[in-house]
Structure 1
Amino acid sequence: MIPDDRTAATRSQTDVVIQGIKDMLTRGELHPGSRLPVEKDLAAQLGVSRGSLREGVRALATLGVLETRQGDGTYVTSLDPRRLLSPLGFLADLQQPAHAADLLAVRRVLEAESAALAAPRLADDDLAELDRILGVVDGILADDPDMDLEAFIDADTEFHRIIARASGNPALAAVIDTLVGRTFRARLWRAISHRGSVRETQAEHRAILAELVARDPERARLRMSVHLLGVEEFSAAHADEDPHAG
């Protein structure tokens, strides 16, 4: 359906609002936690109607830039990267199971870099926590053939998130966090259909941790890349077998 001129005009005015508030943020007139000017004044400042202003504010609230507090006005959020990058999760959710390998490929590239960045930055407490997580997985493996595969995936997820957070790049960590969560089904299906993959993953995690303990960025990058390439290739080769596909 082709929008009429009024709809196009409203959309254009909404874009003016979004761009105007973005400019106010980049100029430093607004910053995290700032309260927006009252509706009448801000609409006049941006040269738009109050209706268009409300539409723009709603759009920015959906994107995590603004939040409206009942009876108190509208404020700029903390602009936390995890919140601002949340629409990426929507994109990932829309991917069909047959395309899970595409997300895993993106994850591989990003996580290999995060491992390299994390190697010299991980605190001793972080390294101890990574070792503890792998100890939990050892316990899960001991229950074979009745392993709790969901508990394994949860531990796997936390292992990767700790490394990503230690990269020192909040935006990178936020993207990885989203992708790790959205590839849960592909990883679980691999664990179910290829039981040996759980032990393979544990061995690969131990190898990654060894390079992190050694503070070796390049070897940590290589170990992480090889580890995630295995998951990616399995997903691509067995996409049609996923019982949730279609």
Structure 2
Amino acid sequence: MAVTDQAIDRIKAMIVAGALAPGQRLPREEELAEDLGLSRNSLREAVRALTAMRILVVRQGDGTYVSSLEPGLLLESLSFASDVSTGERALQLLQVRRLLEPQATALAAGRVTDQDLARLSGLLRRCNEARDVEEFVACDMDFHGAIADLAGNPVLSALLRIVSSRTQRVRVLRAAGGDAVLAGAQREHAAIVEALAARDAKLAEAGAAVHIAGVERWLRAATAAGREPGPPQAPATP
């Protein structure tokens, strides 16, 4: 195992053991390096890696702290996998979404309020008025995110945002093409809201399952036809 990996594992072990708590400041660099039996360079590399993982937070002029360690924060670093996944890998992520989102929607049916329904209805109107794919997807993310949040489980909400990122949704809809696809998605959104308004968990679950299965079907057909665009290209260097 590389020295940097050992340093990462040792700091993680301190957090797991409770020697470093969420929000706690790490000891001074020289002190921590000595305690862990590491060089200061190895420790710095480990801190950089753990910061990228959202496990540590560097505050300029103040020091390095353990983050809040909230699951949603730690899972954010995985969203890149959704952004760059294409073909079979993108389908696998959609399959995970198909397993999770109907259950989240069923949970939402038992918790939704009239105020929540008013917000979802407003999001439906925004989606219907979207002028292009990007605008529709921005609204679509808000719509599905709001329903996932109603399930009352932040970890579930974070996972659902990861397995279907904004970048992935834009690619899928562009590959599917056509106003008919957007119109179909809007009808399915409306059916989900109607089920939530009826507080019918089974119907809400079924509506979400049908909607996501449709997205999966579009992506599978586009992949088979070679129409699914790859990951977004990096902007040209001026």
Please tell me whether residue 91 in structure 1 is matched to residue 76 in structure 2: no
Asked if residue 101 in structure 1 is aligned to residue 129 in structure 2, the reply is no
Q: Secondary structure at the match of 2:27?
A: coil
Instruction: Give the count of matched residue pairs.
Output: 229
Residue in structure 1 matched with residue 15 of structure 2 by the alignment: 25
Q: Deviations over 1:197-240 (max 9, x none)?
A: 22211111111112222222222211101111011011101223
Cα pair 2:137 2:170 within 8 Å, conserved? no
* 1:130 alignment counterpart: 120
| AA at the equivalent of 1:155 | C
Counterpart CA distance in 2 for 1:220 and 1:208 is 5
Residue identity opposite 2:138 in structure 1: D
Superposed, 1:1-246 pairs within 5 Å as 11=2, 13-97=3-87, 99-140=89-130, 147-178=131-162, 179-189=164-174, 193-239=177-223, 240-242=225-227, 244-245=229-230
Q: Secondary structure at the match of 2:18?
A: coil
Q: How much does 1:130 deviate? A: 0.5
Deviation of 1:162 (Å): 0.5
Give the alignment's Cα RMSD to 1 decimal: 2.2
Change (3 A) 1:122 1:45: farther
User: How far has the Cα of 1:168 moved from its partner?
Assistant: 1.6
Which deviates more from structure 2 when the two are superposed, residues 67-76 or residues 86-95? 86-95
Q: Deviation at 1:63?
A: 0.5
Q: Amino acid of the residue matched to residue 228 of structure 1?
A: I
Q: Which moved more, 1:225-234 or 1:172-181?
A: 172-181
Please, what TM-score do these two structures have when normalized by structure 2? 0.85
Q: Does the residue aligned with 1:121 lie in a helix, a strand or coil?
A: coil
**1:143 aligns to what?**
none
Unaligned runs of 5+ in 1: 1-7, 141-146
> What's the offset of the Cα at 1:241?
4.4
The residue type paired with residue 18 of structure 1 is I
Unaligned runs of 5+ in 2: 232-238
Shift of 1:243: 6.3
Paired with 1:101 and 1:241, the residues of 2 have a C-alpha distance of 14
SS at match of 2:165: helix
1:128-171 Cα shifts (integer Å, max 9, x gaps): 1101111223444xxxxxx4333222221211011112222212
Question: Do the aligned partners of residues 97 and 189 (structure 1) sit closer, same or farther apart at CA in structure 2, a change above 3 Å counting?
Answer: farther
Alpha carbons 1:33, 1:76 under 8 Å: kept: yes
TM-score by length of 1: 0.83
Q: Distance in 2 between matches of 1:210 and 1:197?
A: 20
